[in-house]
Amino acid sequence: MTGPKLNEGATVVGERVGTKATAKYVRSSARKARVVLDLIRGLDVRRADEVLQFTDRGIARDIRKVLASAVANAVNNDGQDAEELYVLACFADEGPTLRRFRPRARGRATRIRKRTCHITVIVARMSDDRIARLQARDEGTGRAGRPSSSAASRRARVERSRQRAQQAREGVDAVDAIEEPDVDEDTLDAAAVDETGVDDTATDTATDEAAAGEEAAEDVATEDVATDEAPADEAAPAGDAPYPGSALPLEDGSAPEGFPVKGNEGSKLYHEPDSRYYAITNAEVYFESAEAAEAAGFGKPGAAADEEDQK
C-alpha cells in the first residue's frame, strides 16, 4: 500500500476528522487503483476532479465517482463548502479475489484470479491560509468569476464583440446623420417682417423697385465674373476651405471640380483617384493635388509603414 490511511486524522478512538466515501468490490486490482490515487492525494477537490477527468485509466472513472460522493457527504451531512475541501487521504484495500478456471491442454486447467478492491477517499476542509492562497491564485489568473464551461466563455466573448461592433456602427451613423439645416424660404420671408408685424417690402414699393434695379445690375456683373470660375453648386466657397488648396464636399458628398484628392480628418490620410481605397473613403475635405494635402498635414496610406521598414 503506497498511500497512508491516517485513520481520517483521528488521534483517539471515536474521533473523526474529515468526511469519507467508500466504494467496495470494485472490479479492479488495488495496485492499479493506487497508481491513480497517488495523483490526487493532497489536492483540492476541484483540481483533483480535473486530474481524474483527464487521466487515461479505466479505474479513474470509479475513483472520480467516489470523490464526488465524498464531497456530497461533506456538503450535505457536515455543512462544508465544496470549494474549501481537499483530499486528506485516499487508499485502496484488496477485496476478495474471484477464482475462475480456463481449460488447458491434456485435461488440465489454469486458474484465473479476478481481483477486487475497496476504494476510500477522505476529504476535509483546508486551512485558512491555503484557502486564501488559492483565492489569490484564481484572481491572479483571472479564473474567479469566469464562466465554468468553455462554451459559455466563448458565447460571452462573442456577445462582447457584437456589442463593440454595434457601438462602432452607431457612432458612424451618428456622424453621417449630421447635416447642415435646410433654410426654408418662408422663414426668410418672415424675417423681413419687423417686430410690429408690418412687412417692410410691402410698405415701401418705390424703394423696392429701385433696389431691384440695382440688384439686377449687380447680378449681371456677377454672372460675367462667374463664367470664368466654377459654379457655386459644384465647388465650395473659397472662404469655407479649411486648408490652402482645398475645398469642402458638395451637398451630395461628391468632389468639387478641380479637387480630385480625398482627405479624411479622422485618420489624417489622403487618397488619390488611382489608389485602392479611393472608392470606399468618405471624404471630409478635397484637395487639388497630393502636394496640397501633404502641406496641410495629411499623409499617404502606407507611408508610415514604409518609413518604419526603411529604419
pLDDT at 13: 52
Interatomic CA distance for residues 219 and 216, integer angstroms: 5
Interatomic CA distance for residues 264 and 281, integer angstroms: 8
Q: Exposed (0-12), middle (13-18) or buried (19+): which is 142, by Cβ within 10 Å?
A: exposed
Report the range of poorest mean pLDDT among 24-28, 70-74, 142-146: 142-146
The mean pLDDT value of the chain amounts to 77
Does residue 153 have a pLDDT over 90?
Answer: no
Which residues, in sequence order, are CB contacts of 25 under 8 Å at separation 6+? 95, 96, 116, 118
Q: How confident is the model at residue 279 (pLDDT cuts 50, 70, 90)?
A: confident
Of residues 179 and 162, more confidently modeled: 162
pTM of the model: 0.45
- Crossing angle (nearest 10°) for helices 59-78 and 30-40: 60
Interatomic CA distance for residues 170 and 112, integer angstroms: 76
* 3-state secondary structure (DSSP) of residue 236: coil
For 95-106, what is the mean pLDDT?
96
pLDDT at 108: 96
Q: Which pLDDT tens digit goes with each residue over 70-81?
A: 999 999 999 999
Does residue 25 have a pLDDT over 50?
Answer: yes
Report the range of poorest mean pLDDT among 80-84, 195-199, 254-258, 269-273: 195-199
Interatomic CA distance for residues 29 and 307, integer angstroms: 71
pLDDT at 121: 95
Q: Domains in the chain, ordered, with CATH?
A: 6-140 (3.90.470.10), 238-310 (no CATH)
pLDDT at 275: 82
Share of the chain above pLDDT 70, in %: 67
